[in-house]
Structure 1
Amino acid sequence: MRGYVGPQGAQIHYRTSGTRGPALVLFHESPQASNVFAPAMPALGRSLRAYAFDTPGYGQSDPPPEPPEIPGYARLLLDAIDALGIDEFAVAGQHTGASLALAVAGLAAPGRVTHAILSGLVLDRAERERLGATWAPDKPIDPAGEHLRDLWARYLDIWEQPPELVNLAVANIASVFERYNWAYRAAFRYDPTEPLRTAPCPVLLLTAARDMLAHCDDIARRIRPDATSIQLTDTTGQLPWRVPEEFAAAVVSFVTGSGRAP
């Protein structure tokens, strides 16, 4: 099921699956949308009440009037969670979504966030500065469509295969092209070190072996030595889309097992 919730006068789009069990809210990587979670939603919904949100300004969510920082995005998303009547919940996020998950956990009242499932936190300051300077420049829409060719080449390189997933990535970015880099830039300016250290809940680092940010798990384990760590499969990431049943099984086991994961 899909819907919209409108705190602060803006419509935030979400997908949901499941009617019983613990609540789980999911945040996607930039500059994608909640449709990257769609294949895993039925499996998550068998045991959880799962909600996957489009970050404000991405997918089908309205953009804020100005580009927010990560805490600003998190405030809008927490308002949406509140508007849906979700009390206690686990958070899960990939790349930018992992920073959003930690920021939401930091803003929520004590005890509300029960678990955090994170993939690809950018924890090294020098790497954040490098990515901020090079990864997401402003780009014009090319009259001949060359910007779309560039996007296809980029995502074919970093996501490899299958073409259906590359096409999804390009379509998601093309639909918000004028602001595709808003959340990227916010994420590269955000230091998740202290939010990770102080997150008041069990943490699972759930990553693919060849995810471009998999190496950040080593830093995360030093910051949060009590975290559980799983490399689920030998792919470039996008676990909910590529291996939805395995992704859901790991998440459900962690959330329902009081911090334990297989």
Structure 2
Amino acid sequence: MHERYPDDRLRAPRFPVAPARAYAATPHGLIHYAEQGAGVPVLLLHQTPRSWDEYRDVLPLLGARYRAIAMDTLGFGASDRPAGPWSIELFASGALALCDALELEQVALVGHHTGGVIATEMAAREPGRVSALVLSGVPYVDAARRAEVARRPPIDEVTPRPDGSHLTGLWNNRRSYYPDDRPDLLNRLVRDALHVLDRVEEGHRAVNAYRMEDRLGLVRAPALVLCGEQDSFSRPDMAALVERLPDARTELLPGTGVPSADHRPDLFAAAVTRFLDRVLR
């Protein structure tokens, strides 16, 4: 059964302080991150083709109770770009390397879409380092899904054209997932996508190649499977994830879909905070 909560929103400080931003040197290159708050560390992992900016409005809310850290996955945002093939395993290695660089012995993970798949691999590979796991809008990837997705057209891939019409194509590819009254959210996604335009689909391909069915059973951290109630892409997979995770519960965020973290940062941060307060304190 999905848990539903009243709209007890966290509130940002009246005069919010911008998050601190920095680079960490790792064996995979420089990794860019933003952080806010203090206390138990919570690492936030974004979807493809976003950056830490996906959590820009979540950081001050989550940072009111925790040390909230939003990173740019290797290859995305301002982090260094790996030259070789991209994979969930590589992205997870980069995130764990950031934890090493920041001397985080244990961390709670929050991942949205691709970020949630990365978080799953981190929790499966290093279960002792992950204190809690939030999977937001995460698909269950198994052989059947891999075959189905392989038949679909690319999500964000466009061919650059001299007249710039590929920008409209990139916008329209995502338009149906975003609220009509929030073009600013699509502006932010397109900006991030342009930074990785030549490899924009590799994050999606990495998700589809990942053998999640072999890894979920290795997760030991308590988990929250979170999804926007209008997210038709990932909501059908919530039950499959909960069934395969040793300790998991679900929650739906009312009135939002795929872009839940940036569309309704108040609801997103409140749900994450409630869960972390429950399992960590």
Distance 1:237 1:57, change over 3 A: same
User: Closer, same or farther in 2 for the Cα pair 1:16/1:184, shift >3 Å?
Assistant: same
SS at match of 1:4: strand
The TM-score with structure 1 as length reference comes to 0.92
> Could you tell me how far 1:237 is from its partner in structure 2?
2.5
1:160 equivalent in alignment to 2:179: yes
Q: Deviations over 1:48-103 (max 9, x none)?
A: 11111111111111110112221111111111111011111111111111110011
Deviation at 1:136, TM superposition (A): 4.4
The alignment status of 1:151 with 2:170, answered yes or no, reads yes
Cα distance between partner residues in 1 of 2:28 and 2:280: 36
CA distance in 2 between partners of 1:254 and 1:142 (Å)? 46
- The reply to whether residue 202 of structure 1 matches residue 222 of structure 2 is yes
Equivalent in the alignment of 2:136: 119
Q: CA 1:221/1:9 → structure 2, altered by over 3 Å: closer, same or farther?
A: closer
**Alignment-derived partner of residue 96 in structure 1:** 114
> Is 1:8 aligned with 2:20?
no
Question: Aligned pair in 2 of structure 1 residues 259, 237: CA closer, same or farther (>3 Å)?
Answer: farther
1:217 matched to which residue of 2?
238
After superposition, the C-alpha distances for 1:156-188 in whole angstroms (9 at most, x for unaligned) are: 122233100011111111121011111111111
Q: Is the 8 A contact 2:111 2:134 kept in 1?
A: yes
Report deviation, 1:256. Answer: 2.3
Question: Are positions 1:247 and 2:256 aligned together?
Answer: no
Tell me, yes or no, if the aligned pair for 2:177 and 2:259 is still in contact at 8 Å. no
* One-letter amino acid of the counterpart of residue 49, structure 1: R
Identity %: 31
Any gaps of 5 or more consecutive residues in structure 1? none
- Tell me, in whole angstroms, the C-alpha distance in 2 between the residues paired with 1:137 and 1:29: 12
1:67 aligns with 2:85: yes
Structure 2 portions without partners, runs of 5+: 1-19
Distance of 2:178 and 2:147 partners within structure 1: 23
Q: Distance in 2 between matches of 1:158 and 1:129?
A: 23
Q: Structure 2 length normalisation: TM-score? A: 0.86
Letter in 1 for 2:235: A
Query: Match of 1:254, SS?
Result: helix
Q: Aligned Cα RMSD in Å?
A: 1.8
| Secondary structure in 1 matching 2:279 | coil
Q: Is the 8 A contact 1:132 1:189 kept in 2?
A: no
Instruction: In structure 2, give the amino acid aligned to 1:254.
Output: F
Q: What is the DSSP-based 3-state SS (H/G/I as helix, E as strand, rest coil) of the residue aligned with 2:76?
A: coil
Is the contact between residue 113 and residue 139 of structure 2 (CA under 8 Å) also seen in structure 1?
A: yes
Partner of 2:69: 51
2:45 to 27, 39, 49: 27
